[in-house]
Amino acid sequence: MNLAALLLLAIAVTHYGVDPLCAVVPGMEHGAKGLFYVFRGVEGTVLFAIIWLLRPALWPVCIWGMLEESETAVCRLAAGPLGTAPPAVPWSGLCGELTHVPVYMLGIVYAALLVTRKNNHESRS
């Protein structure tokens, strides 16, 4: 698929497709905010995938971004009906509340691994 078309589709569906979809699908009339949250996660995942495709050297950061963005979409879907507000617990995130595992901290661990890997690579040069 053409990258420009993929970007346009991701943006259009995320920002203009939520309300029409909620109007057409029975039971979704109050789920627009939740669905927008899910679509933003998908949109971010697509954007990081395109950056990775265009700049393969950025793969470590793109993987992190894709994981974070896809986690946003998946965890919001798992948090319950899109028409209800999920719990907002500081330093936890939706997946942390669902799993009782500090999923929120995985990004920090991954960032530390990237920095350590970069520092080790530079010290060898």
pLDDT of residue 94: 81
Task: Give me the pLDDT at residue 14, please.
Answer: 94
pLDDT in tens, 91-107: 777 888 888 888 878 88
pLDDT (0 to 100) of residue 93: 79
Dihedral of alpha carbons 22, 28, 32, 35, sign: negative
Q: How many whole angstroms separate alpha carbon 39 and alpha carbon 35?
A: 6
Segments in the chain below pLDDT 70: 1, 118-125
Selection from 40, 24, 115 nearest residue 77 by Cα: 40
Among candidates 38, 96, 97, 99, which has minimal Cα distance to 70?
A: 38
